[in-house]
Structure 1
Amino acid sequence: MDELTNLLDEGSQWLPWLTEKGVSIIVGILIFFIGKMIAGRISGWTEKRLLKSKVDKAVAGFASSILYALMFAGIVLMALGQIGVETTSFIAILGAAGLAVGLALQGSLSNFASGVLIILLRPFKTGDFVEVGGQMGTVDRIELFHTYLKTLDNRSVILPNSSVMDDAIINFSAHSTRRLDLTIGISYDADIRQARDLMKGILDSDERVLKDPAYAIFVSELADSSVNFSVRAWVNSSDLLQFKSDLLEKVKYTFDENGVGIPYPQMDVHLSKED
């Protein structure tokens, strides 16, 4: 009887500890499963938002996966801490491993960080015509480590994202309209008014030239061999290259038909004869 009483006394002493541990384990399990569910929904929502923002599908999926992995790691540490497991050592190990990996993959991590910035800041998107990293072309796709361009002559250029973000980015497709700036020279013996009227007629007859803002034609320089006009006309961005080619061709034909000379650099050589 005394032994049974002692066992009951010992059990009553352990009961609060067992109860506390049981509650901690249950709470830890709830944190794990509820946190996992929330992390899954947040990562799914993030992927949908990226896809709606016209981010490449592979990039959106990879970014959401990384977000889920980071949240899942935090949830596991929270659950273990709630149960009573010492997580300081785990954090220290993860930190040391992360430092070692970071030192080994400095270049790749730089490209990764730049890829994340491109996705978040969106200086350009798939389909834009850009000049980045010293290369010019249409953005084919954006990945976390590289950006792919397709050049005008149909070459594929793969740029590390770090070189993209470290250099100037020129996005020719950022706006729906662009201004074409041309310098057109005529000879000094040509009629300035006639040349201006001829160029006005060419621009007025071209439907691609926007009325607002209005185009401008003015004498910009009295150069060594020519009187230079500046021609500034606004067109849709998609029409710019073809419009420039057509305009130069029309100006040449029109000037030739109306006797307006287009000079080229000349040099006068004077010969002197000595006795």
Structure 2
Amino acid sequence: MFDDFSINESLSGIGNKLAEWLDTLIVNLPNFILAVLVFSFFILAAKYIGRLMNNILRRKVSQDSIRQITVKVLKTVIILLGFFIALGLLNLDKVLTSVLAGAGVVGLAIGLALQGTLNNTFSGVILSFLPEIQIGDWVETNGFAGEVVEINLRNIVIKETDNNYVVIPNSKIIEEPFKNFSRTPRSRVSLDCGVAYSSNLETVQNLTLETIEELFPQRGNEEVEFMYKEFGDSSINFMVRFWTDVSRNRDILIARNKAIMAVKKAFDNNGITIPFPIRTIDFSNNLSLNKGKEDTES
């Protein structure tokens, strides 16, 4: 009899609790529906506002990584704002506080576990807004050289001259120096050469300057520079420097190739020799093996 009474009392308590929950749900149902509608509205707003911002940035910003990062951050902020407003409509202020506290703890744990990944992510944000390196630039960094084809939140992708792609973590680009050929329209190219000791040095200098200036017209304050450097083993060596259009390393190689052919042709036409290393054997030593043998016999 006692057991039946306990069971009935328990069932009655459960029924009362369910009834209270149902009453609470009915009372708060308008707020719940409103919260769902508000949160859904913010999700849709984030989608369309992100699309609108992407179109605007596409006309204003040429770098894809900047557009991607800006749109993602904007959409995330809008969705989080809608989430917090929805919690406020449900009178879940304590839940909101707990969510923020839990997010801080989880964020700290994730930050400690993913230090390298987060370092690359923040480096990617910096690279995206860094004007010194952009998509399409020709750079040399970390022992690699090529065209920048992608900058994302994890790495930078470079296409080398052999048509292979190199993926470099963003943190490596930030921490290591890099050389960007595309940031300046013109660069100075150096060419080393040598002439025979019998050459007229003034003639060599004038002829070289005329040849390079004709092949590579200088602009503004630019000029072709010629300087003898040293007395080499078989030649007097000099260096000539000139300015030309350069946007990648290949342009330097092409300019140097043209300069070598033009200077060689000019030297050949004027009887100027570019010597190659020569080794001379001197037989003027008076010592003789026969002389030593004669001394022994006497």
- TM-score, normalising length: structure 2: 0.70
Q: 1:217·1:229 contact (CA, 8 Å) conserved in 2?
A: no
The separation in 1 between residues aligned to 2:173 and 2:274, in whole angstroms, is 41
The separation in 2 between residues aligned to 1:263 and 1:144, in whole angstroms, is 54
Q: Check if 1:72 corresponds to 2:42.
A: no
> Among residues 131, 145, 162, which one is paired with 2:140 in the alignment?
131
The separation in 1 between residues aligned to 2:171 and 2:105, in whole angstroms, is 25
How far residue 257 of structure 1 moved from its aligned partner, in angstroms, is 2.9
How far residue 174 of structure 1 moved from its aligned partner, in angstroms, is 0.4
The alignment-based identity, stated in percent, is: 29
Larger C-alpha radius of gyration, 1 or 2? 2
How far residue 168 of structure 1 moved from its aligned partner, in angstroms, is 0.6
- TM-score, normalising length: structure 1: 0.76
> Among residues 209, 215, 219, which one is paired with 1:211 in the alignment?
219
Look up the equivalent residue of 2:190 and give its one-letter code.
D
Tell me the secondary structure at the aligned position of residue 129 of structure 2: helix
CA RMSD of aligned residues (A): 3.4
How far residue 245 of structure 1 moved from its aligned partner, in angstroms, is 0.8
Q: Check if 1:156 corresponds to 2:165.
A: yes
Q: Deviations over 1:189-243 (max 9, x none)?
A: 211121122212322332x433323322322422333333332211111443312
Aligned pair in 2 of structure 1 residues 228, 204: CA closer, same or farther (>3 Å)?
Answer: same
User: More deviation in 110-119 or 41-50?
Assistant: 41-50
2:268 maps to what in 1? 256
User: More deviation in 148-157 or 253-262?
Assistant: 253-262
Q: Check if 1:180 corresponds to 2:202.
A: no
Aligned pair in 2 of structure 1 residues 196, 220: CA closer, same or farther (>3 Å)?
Answer: closer
The separation in 2 between residues aligned to 1:121 and 1:49, in whole angstroms, is 20
Tell me the secondary structure at the aligned position of residue 77 of structure 1: helix
- Structure 2 unaligned blocks of 5 or more: 1-27, 293-298
- Number of equivalenced pairs: 253
How far residue 134 of structure 1 moved from its aligned partner, in angstroms, is 1.7
Q: 1:150·1:156 contact (CA, 8 Å) conserved in 2?
A: yes
Aligned pair in 2 of structure 1 residues 82, 169: CA closer, same or farther (>3 Å)?
Answer: farther
Aligned pair in 2 of structure 1 residues 221, 41: CA closer, same or farther (>3 Å)?
Answer: same
User: More deviation in 134-143 or 66-75?
Assistant: 66-75
How far residue 136 of structure 1 moved from its aligned partner, in angstroms, is 0.3
- Where in structure 2 are the equivalents of 1:6-25 lying within 5 Å? none
User: More deviation in 262-271 or 182-191?
Assistant: 262-271
Look up the equivalent residue of 1:224 and give its one-letter code.
G
Aligned pair in 2 of structure 1 residues 199, 26: CA closer, same or farther (>3 Å)?
Answer: same
1:115 maps to what in 2? 124
The separation in 1 between residues aligned to 2:129 and 2:227, in whole angstroms, is 45
The separation in 2 between residues aligned to 1:37 and 1:197, in whole angstroms, is 73
Q: 1:209·1:233 contact (CA, 8 Å) conserved in 2?
A: no
The separation in 2 between residues aligned to 1:71 and 1:187, in whole angstroms, is 75
How far residue 155 of structure 1 moved from its aligned partner, in angstroms, is 1.6
Tell me the secondary structure at the aligned position of residue 210 of structure 1: coil
The separation in 2 between residues aligned to 1:176 and 1:93, in whole angstroms, is 52
Look up the equivalent residue of 2:54 and give its one-letter code.
E
Q: Deviations over 1:242-269 (max 9, x none)?
A: 1211111221222133221223445556
Look up the equivalent residue of 1:210 and give its one-letter code.
Q
1:47 maps to what in 2? 54
The separation in 2 between residues aligned to 1:270 and 1:153, in whole angstroms, is 49
Tell me the secondary structure at the aligned position of residue 199 of structure 2: coil
Q: 2:230·2:238 contact (CA, 8 Å) conserved in 1?
A: no
Q: Check if 1:233 corresponds to 2:242.
A: yes
The separation in 2 between residues aligned to 1:236 and 1:214, in whole angstroms, is 12
Q: 2:212·2:224 contact (CA, 8 Å) conserved in 1?
A: no
The separation in 1 between residues aligned to 2:260 and 2:171, in whole angstroms, is 39
Aligned pair in 2 of structure 1 residues 150, 248: CA closer, same or farther (>3 Å)?
Answer: same
